[in-house]
Chain A
Amino acid sequence: MEYKKSTIENLREALDNNEVTGEELFNEAKKLAEESQKDINAFVTILDKYKSRPKKKGILTDIPYSLKDNFSTTGILTTASSNILKNYVPVYDATVYKKLKDAGAVLVGKTVLDELAMGGTGTTGHTGVVLNPWDKTRLIGGSSAGSCASVAAGIVPFSIGSDTGDSVRKPASYGGVVGFKPTYGRISRYGLFAFASSLDHVALLTRSVKDAAIVTNVLKGEDPLDMTSLKDDGLDYTLNLDKSIKGKKFFYIKEACTFDKKSDILESTLNEFNKLLDKIRSLGATVDEVSIDKDLLNAIYPSYMVISCAEATSNNSNLTGIPFGNRIDGSTYEEIMFNTRTEGFSELIKRRFVIGSYVLQKENQDKLFLNACRVRRMIVDKMHELFKTYDALIMPASGGIAPKLGEASDVLSDEYLILENHMAIGNFGGFPSITLPYGFVNSMPIGVNITSNILKDSELLNIAKQIEDLLGYIGQVAGDKNV
């Protein structure tokens, strides 16, 4: 058994056959994590000791994993990759962390994110840039940067991240791994540091669709501590994976995939995508091109910015350095708040907060914040309409491969592309959405994204598994060249 390439399934088998112990797995993971730090810098904290105290032994018992550093973990430093929380040690457990503890999964480390999860590059964490294990001159993307890198590098077979716009599904594409965001409310958000509450999802990164099903099985269910959590659907997601997708109907959005001018990379990516669609058709499924009002599609990104910044400004108003956080002294409470927040947040965060607060101002709220919320409903209504006909939306997760360090920034510009931002649709409507590797461009992995109607998590995983079987990237880690 080669640990780095092993899926949860493989590790479970090895553990059950006593080929390896949980402690040995942890030590291996810890060693890999420590060795990887200087190259990819995925971790804020790497844990010292193997610890597994399952309430009941189960499929995840003794399986190592990493957790994005914006989940509350009692007694373990949790920074959200921000200076303002650089010393914060939580006193309560996030529901997902508690469930994983109870399942006996072994936490290896807390992973780097874009500061407060607000960003898509993996470059803005207070402990530095996270790099792509496939090519250390490239980014892994964010905000779940360290989570994705730790799975892509084979340090852990799964990681828990969060996805507000595409924060798990975009890095998954750049890292050649599976990124899955179930239906909003399927997994409790209690203990996930809020970025934009109405868009935030707990999401996961794995190296196979089946592993995504296994982990989701453990995490899902209603939580009395999260009023937006859903009643458990009672399904075992691993049992529905092998059904044929013959007769399933897919669509992709024409306007997102049509360009006047194409870079080489975009061209190759779209070629790979078309090849994939043909393969899917060969399974007996149909794929249609669907046209959606371009003005509406163009509105996705600004609307996402407006809504997420607005909610983020409010959600992060608790960071004042008073009951917790890195207090910078002052002679009045206002000065304390000022100094703490001025020093604690990076520039990008401050810009986002000002935008968020501006759009909520009384005189701007209708034209900005509420209009963005209107766009949200229009997009979501359109999707619900399409899901009456179609089983899933299938799209390239990105128009290209992981950008080089220095190529991408989080400064807002006019030059956004629908193709780079369409995955926010999944957050707008809470739709289950998964990214999985479907090929390579310039020796870098690319990902395809599939999105289904709400509550259809099991059906989506089935579709994803069938496509994964078609492509054969199960257990892929950085370094595997499969061009």
Chain B
Amino acid sequence: MYKVVIGLEVHCEVLTNTKNFSSAKNTYTNIPNINVMPVDLGLPGILPVVNEEACRKALKTAMALNCETPDEIIFDRKNYYYPDLPKGYQITQVTKPFGRNGHVTFLVNGKEKTVDIHQLHLEEDTASLEHYSNYSLIDYNRSGIPLMEIVTEPCIYSADEAVAFLETLRNIFLYLGVSEAKSDKGQMRCDVNISLMKDTDKVLGTKVEMKNINAFNSVKEAINYEIKRQSEILDKGEKVIQETRRIDEDGKTYSMREKVDAVDYKYFVEPNLAPVKITKEYKDTVRKEIPELEYSRIKRYLELNINLEDALTLAKDKDISNYFDEVIKNTKDINLAVNYLTIVILGSLNKLNININDLFITPTMLANVINLVKENEVSNQLAKNIIYEAMEKNIDPLEIIKSKNIKQISDEGELRNIVKKIIDESPEQVKEYLNGKEMVANFLVGKVMSATNKQANPAASLKLIKEELERMR
């Protein structure tokens, strides 16, 4: 067995109207070269101008990842030649990245894990290359789209941890609204650095780099494949080669190139971008825009004695979690609230294929219904049906309850009369019960429910049925 050490470099497209350094639209399109300004084509004489929103979002993300943030905005050039890089350099951040020395905590299979963030910086995407049998075509629409790169420390020790980290990161992006982070559109992609070492080793093993993996599932496959491959090499007493590998559709990784010598990117400060101060006031404003994030919400839910699975479900989506928080502001019954939200509401959202914010039932409406259930005013079963009806008809559930004159029969005298009547009508079941088949009581509750149009309180009904039947022994 070897110790696996993984570091991730995650690239994520930032959600803005325009590109990072030009006013061309930042959007995804299949029509080539329609969102291209001279800057994006690297024409002679162009000058970049920094997008405020991209900076704000990068700064916000850095703060959400608990990073140290800089006092001013500065960019650097990374120089290299490639056909998708029209300027011959990429504008990125080395001197003063938006974030340094951060960390993020999350759960991996129920256990807490913290990943240290080395750095978060803002840079620009390259043009895209489309490959044909004997040539490639360059489309500059993507050239200059703002990208955030997040580099972790080598502190991830399994594929599960890597995937959980990526999911956490994506969740943070979505919570912050800084990116759509769709990996199928390449909006979020990552490079994986992985090495294996013996437990007794003091230094990290030889690093293998896997570039540009989009789907999280592929990350998992690639890591597990590499662990197996590298273990086999080490088992044989051989050395792992330092190289870049790519993952293929079969889930295996293949060598792309051996690392001859490290490329020198000759970084230097971008002289065309005059430094801009980041004031304390600005930082405060941005910080205030950060909502409570997933992991804090999960912990809060667990403290409310919500089970882990439900806590995860609720906290996964900011809007759902916000909705839930509104519901529990208006009702004391957390269990019912969780139950109604995870089953009734989330079920309906899936069916209707809508966002929770577009739902007709407001958190207050839902809380009102839950409170009626809790106070035995309406039966659970009936309440759910009413909510479905309310969603269908866009009517406040309380209105439905009022108009149908629904009120749970909990009054003992009234209920006992109904129970007695049902028992009288069911001699067969009575006999079975008295013979020891006590389950029959539940069947009789069902009959009471139908007789009362579901308005009977089921628990109270069961109690009375048992009382009456016992009396017959």
Contact = CB atoms under 8 A, between A and B. Distances in A.
A190 B44 contact: no
29 contacts: A70-B45, A71-B45, A72-B45, A78-B44, A88-B44, A90-B43, A91-B38, A189-B47, A190-B47, A193-B45, A197-B272, A224-B49, A225-B49, A227-B48, A227-B273, A227-B274, A228-B47, A228-B272, A228-B274, A314-B88, A314-B89, A317-B81, A317-B89, A318-B86, A318-B88, A320-B81, A323-B86, A361-B264, A369-B268
Interface string A301-315: 000000000110110
Which of B50, B267, B271, B274 has the most chain A CB atoms closer than 10 A to its own CB?
Answer: B271
Contacts of A225: 47, 49
A114 to B, nearest CB: 16
A317 B87 CA distance: 6
B219 to A, nearest CB: 29
A268 B307 CA distance: 94
A337 interface: yes
A94 interface: yes
A312 to B, nearest CB: 12
Interface in B256-294: 264, 266-268, 271-274
Contacts of A226: 47, 49, 272
Nearest to A310: B268
B143 to A, nearest CB: 10
A56 interface: no
Contact count band on B = 20 to 34
B77 interface: yes
A92 B40 CA distance: 13
Contacts of A314: 77, 79, 88-89, 266, 268
Nearest to B272: A197
A365 B269 CA distance: 12
Closest 4 CB pairs of A and B: A317-B88, A198-B271, A360-B266, A318-B42
Nearest to B37: A92
| Consensus secondary structure, chain B interface | loop
Nearest to B85: A317
A67 interface: no
A134 B274 CA distance: 41
Interface string A248-266: 0000000000000000000
Interface residues of A, number: 45
Contacts of B47: 189-190, 225-228
A201 to B, nearest CB: 13
A85 interface: yes
Contacts, number: 107
A226 B272 CA distance: 8
B83 interface: yes
Interface of A: 70-72, 78, 80, 85, 88, 90-92, 94, 189-194, 196-198, 224-228, 310-311, 313-314, 316-320, 322-324, 333, 337, 357, 360-362, 365, 369
A351 B32 CA distance: 38
| Consensus secondary structure, chain A interface | loop
Contacts of B337: none
Nearest to A82: B44
Contacts of A227: 47-50, 272-274
B265 to A, nearest CB: 9
B138 interface: yes
Contact of A94 (B45, B77, B136): B45
Contacts of B42: 318, 323
Nearest to A230: B274
Nearest to B275: A227
B447 to A, nearest CB: 78
B41 interface: yes
B129 to A, nearest CB: 10
A77 to B, nearest CB: 12
A228 B89 CA distance: 19
Interface in B107-144: 136, 138, 140
B49 to A, nearest CB: 5
A310 B267 CA distance: 11
Nearest to A362: B264
Nearest to B276: A227
B141 to A, nearest CB: 13
A72 B43 contact: yes
Nearest to A80: B44
Given A318-B87, A362-B264, A92 B43 contact: yes
A323 B42 CA distance: 8
